[in-house]
Amino acid sequence: MNKTTKIYIAGHRGMVGSAIWRALEAKGYTHLIGKTSKELDLKSQPEVADFFECEKPEVVIDAAARVGGILANNNYPYQFLMENMQIQNNLIDSSLKADVAKFIFLGSSCIYPKLAPQPLKEEYLLTGPLEPTNEWYAIAKITGVKACEAIRKQFGKDYISLMPTNLYGTHDNFDLTTSHVLPAMIRKFHEAKQPQLSMLSEVEADKEHLPVTLWGSGTPMREFLFVEDLADAVVFALENKFQDNLYNVGTGVDLTIKELAELIQKTVGHTGEIIWDSSKPDGTPRKLMDVSKMTDAGWKAKVGLEEGIKRTYEWFLENQENFKEVKL
pLDDT tops 60 at residue 29: yes
Average pLDDT over every residue of 167-185: 89
CATH number of 7-318: 3.40.50.720
Question: For residue 242, how many C-alpha atoms fall within 13 Å in the half-sphere facing its CB?
Answer: 28
pLDDT tops 60 at residue 197: no
- Say if residue 250 carries a ligand binding annotation: no
- Cβ of 199: how many Cβ atoms within 10 Å? 9
Question: When comparing pLDDT for 229 and 195, which is higher?
Answer: 229
Domain range list for the chain? 7-318
Answer whether 100's CB lies under 8 Å from 57's CB: yes
- Say if residue 15 carries a ligand binding annotation: yes
What does the pLDDT read at residue 327? 41
pLDDT tops 60 at residue 200: no
pLDDT tops 90 at residue 322: no
What does the pLDDT read at residue 155? 98
Rounded CA separation 72/234 (Å): 27
What does the pLDDT read at residue 195? 57
Answer whether 92's CB lies under 8 Å from 45's CB: no
- Say if residue 266 carries a ligand binding annotation: no
Identity of residue 224: F
What does the pLDDT read at residue 71? 77
- Binned at pLDDT 50, 70 and 90, residue 328 comes out as very low
151, with CB counted inside 10 A (0-12, 13-18, 19+), is buried
Q: Label each residue of 274-294 as H, E or C.
A: EEEECCCCCCCCEECECCHHH
In tens, the pLDDT along 1-17 reads 899 999 999 999 999 99
In tens, the pLDDT along 250-304 reads 999 999 999 999 999 999 999 999 999 999 988 778 889 999 999 999 999 999 9
Active site residues per annotation: 137
Rounded CA separation 134/87 (Å): 18
Answer whether 8's CB lies under 8 Å from 55's CB: yes
pLDDT tops 50 at residue 326: no
- Say if residue 109 carries a ligand binding annotation: yes
Number of H helices, E strands in the chain: 11, 13
- Cβ of 3: how many Cβ atoms within 10 Å? 10
High-pLDDT (> 90) share of the chain, %: 81
- Say if residue 270 carries a ligand binding annotation: no
